[in-house]
Amino acid sequence: MNLLDTDILLELLHERRHEVGAISIITLIEVLRGLEARKRAKVKELLEESFNLQGLDNEIIETYSNLYRRLRKEGISIPDADLLIAATAISRNMTLKTRDEHFERLRELGLKLVGAPKNREKTRIHNIPVFRRP
C-alpha cells in the first residue's frame, strides 16, 4: 500500500479523484490546518473514512529520530513534518507517493518512493496550496 504525501492528497482533492492508500496523521494535520474551522470536522471525517490513517507510535518516533540524527550529521535539513511522514513509510514498509524532491535524499536510508518531481506552479483550494502537473 502507498502512503500518500500531502501534495498527492491535495492533488486528489483538487481533481476530485480517489486513490486507495494510507495517509499519515501529519498529512491529515497539514490539510486541516489550512481549512476554515467550520469545514474541518467534515473534511477530517471524510479523510478518515477514505484512507487508512497512520498514527504515530514508538517505532515511527524511533525511525524519525534516527533519520534526523543521520541527516543532521550530514548537514541535510528536511522539514520535521516531512521527516515524520518518511519515518511512517519506512516503519510501515510502505512506498511513499510524493512529488517533493527532497524525499529523494532518503532513498539510501530505506525510503521507497514513487512519483515524479512536482511542478512548482501553485493554485489554491480552501486556502491550501495545491501543486498541479503540467
CATH of the domain at 15: 3.40.50.1010
- Which residues form the domain of 46? 2-131
Distance (Å, rounded) from C-alpha 57 to C-alpha 12? 27
pLDDT at 131: 36
Distance (Å, rounded) from C-alpha 114 to C-alpha 123? 23
Average per-residue pLDDT in the chain? 89
Distance (Å, rounded) from C-alpha 22 to C-alpha 113? 14
pLDDT at 116: 65
DSSP-assigned letter for residue 92? T
pLDDT at 115: 87
Number of domains in the chain: 1
pLDDT tens, N- to C-terminus, the chain (134 residues): 999 999 999 999 999 999 999 999 999 999 999 999 999 999 999 999 999 999 999 999 999 999 999 999 999 999 999 999 999 999 999 999 999 998 999 999 999 999 866 554 443 444 444 433 33
User: Per-residue pLDDT tens for 66-105?
Assistant: 999 999 999 999 999 999 999 999 999 999 999 999 899 9
DSSP string, 1-34: -EEEPHHHHHHHHHTT-----EEEHHHHHHHHTT
Which one, of 88, 76, 77, lies nearest residue 112 by Cα? Answer: 88
pLDDT at 16: 92
pTM value is 0.85
SS in 3 state form for 34-54? CCCHHHHHHHHHHHHHHCEEE
| 35, three cell numbers | 481549512
Beta-sheet pairing, 95-97 with 2-4: parallel
| 90, three cell numbers | 519506512
Type and span of the H or E element at 59: helix 58-73
